[in-house]
Structure 1
Amino acid sequence: MQDEARHRAQQDEWADEVLAWMSSQEEMDRALRDALRRTPSQREETIARMADALRGAAQGLTIPGSAAAAGVPEHILREWMEIDASFATALRAAHALAEAHGLRPGAAPTPAALQLMLNAIRKGAAWPAAATLVGISVRGFNRLRAEAPPVGALIAAAQRARSAKPGASRRRRPPKAAGRPPGYRIVQLDDPLLSPDSQPGDSPGGLSKRTPPGG
């Protein structure tokens, strides 16, 4: 009994570490950007998010899942596909690659799908909605959690992270840069795909409301 409790505690600690690492990715990106002592252009921001969408698609995520992996609403991803023919072609090719290798919605989840699901739960989504986002049915999700106990531990850790009080300390988080408004990423406006003209919801001065960090 004690061994079982010790094992569960170790698994929970491991799961909390994984979630802490996931939540620190955006802060790490900011720290590396600060190390270069420059503000990224909006075009760089767009390309980086497109690359995240392509990576998700190549690992079997649907269009909604790929958009979530890129941290943008689905309609923004579809706008990118309409405006940028090269991106649309690349996204279709990524989906074809996933399909050719059996990485399709409803199949065995990939690490990218699991990460997306955990992030969705951490940000407030109920687990059925998070599972649907990556193409996993409720029954398939329950089977996965039963067959892979570490997945259940990660889900519980994501739920704990969601309910954690604001400002609670997390391990291995790099310091935030001073003087930045929370929830925004500062970029230079040079990309028509994310310009205020093409996205009315954007605010002037390079603060995009549609693509907050980790959003």
Structure 2
Amino acid sequence: MYEPKEAGAVPDRDPLDAGRVIAWLKDRSAVEHVLETSLGALPSERDATLARMADVLQATAQGLGPQAAAVWAGVPESVVRGWTHEDPAFASALAASAALAAAHGRNQGGPYTPAMVRVLLVAMSRGATRLEAVKLAGFHVKRLRALAKASATLEALLEAARRTRPLPARDAGVRGPGSPRRPGRKSPEPWGFRLVQRAAQGDSGDEKESAPTIA
């Protein structure tokens, strides 16, 4: 006998969508690059940097810590630290983003959020183990296990992220804080490369060079 769902209940979406979600998270930089080059020129280094800075600010405003925000933005945490030390405007904006999160109850240690799920999935798809990614995103292992058991969509997303992890010999993930490097494994290096338009230097004019893909 058919029984309607309770009012206000939000059913899980088709778990088959999980693969598409992970693919979008992994290929976001490629999508952004297409949009940037649609204007007829390569993006400038400044534009690329500002876009990634904005990603860090967005992640911080949603309560993510520095390491998780770096994963969200697709840049090494050391790059974010460099921006903070060298760019007063960014440092001020970062502090304001953290204050905004705290004012709205999104500070670290608060309730679990979709932003945390995103970092968890991105970290896993880049090569982090599930345990490393769980700690990085700020989840408690037992609580996440219970959430996944109750949500077919979350379980499907976790499985899809696990399936896309690089092979151990080519692991390009993000190790969790304090995680030892496995013997024989190369240091993870998840950052790719793409073309950007560098600023003119002297009389030589603009020059096109390869620059790290930071998205």
Query: AA paired with 2:142?
Result: R
2:47 to 44, 54, 71: 44
The yes-or-no answer on 1:187 pairing with 2:188 is: no
Does 1:63 pair with 2:35?
Answer: no
Which amino acid letter does the alignment assign opposite residue 40 of structure 2? R
Distance in 1 (alpha carbons) for counterparts of 2:109 and 2:150: 16
Contact kept? 1:57, 1:98, Cα under 8 Å? yes
Write the distance in 1 (CA, Å) between the matches of 2:28 and 2:68. Answer: 19
Report the counterpart of residue 77 of structure 2 in structure 1: 74
Which sits farther off after the overlay, 63-72 or 18-27?
18-27
Aligned to 1:128: 131
- In structure 2, the CA distance between the partners of 1:22 and 1:75, relative to structure 1 (3 Å rule), is closer
The correspondence for 2:117, drawn from 90, 93, 114, is 114
Q: Percent identity?
A: 36
- TM-aligned CA deviation for residue 163 of structure 1: 5.7
Q: Quick one: which amino acid aligns to residue 129 of structure 1? A: E
Q: Distance in 2 between matches of 1:125 and 1:13?
A: 23
Structure 1 residue 84, shift from structure 2 partner: 0.6
5+ residue gaps, structure 2, are 1-12, 168-190, 201-206
Alignment of 1:152-191 (within 5 A): 152-162=155-165, 183-190=192-199
How far 1:128 moved relative to its partner? 1.4
Q: Pick from 92, 97, 106: which aligns with 1:94?
A: 97
Q: Is the 8 A contact 1:11 1:153 kept in 2?
A: no
Instruction: Report SS of the residue matched to 1:187.
Output: strand
TM-score (norm 1): 0.72
Partner of 2:138: helix, strand, or coil?
A: coil
In 1, the alpha carbon distance for the partners of 2:80 and 2:38 equals 30
**1:30 equivalent in alignment to 2:33:** yes
Q: Which letter maps to 1:138?
A: V
Q: By how many angstroms is 1:213 displaced?
A: 4.9
- In terms of fraction of residues, the more strand-rich structure is 2
In the aligned structure 1, how far is the partner of 2:155 from the partner of 2:109?
Answer: 18
Question: Aligned AA for 1:151?
Answer: L
More helix by share: 1
Deviations 1:54-77 (A, max 9, x none): 000001110111111121111110
Counterpart in the other structure of 2:213: 212
Stretches of structure 1 that go unaligned for 5 or more consecutive residues are 1-9, 165-181, 192-203
| CA apart distance, 1:51 | 0.2
Tell me if the contact between 1:12 and 1:157 (Cα under 8 Å) persists in the aligned partners: no
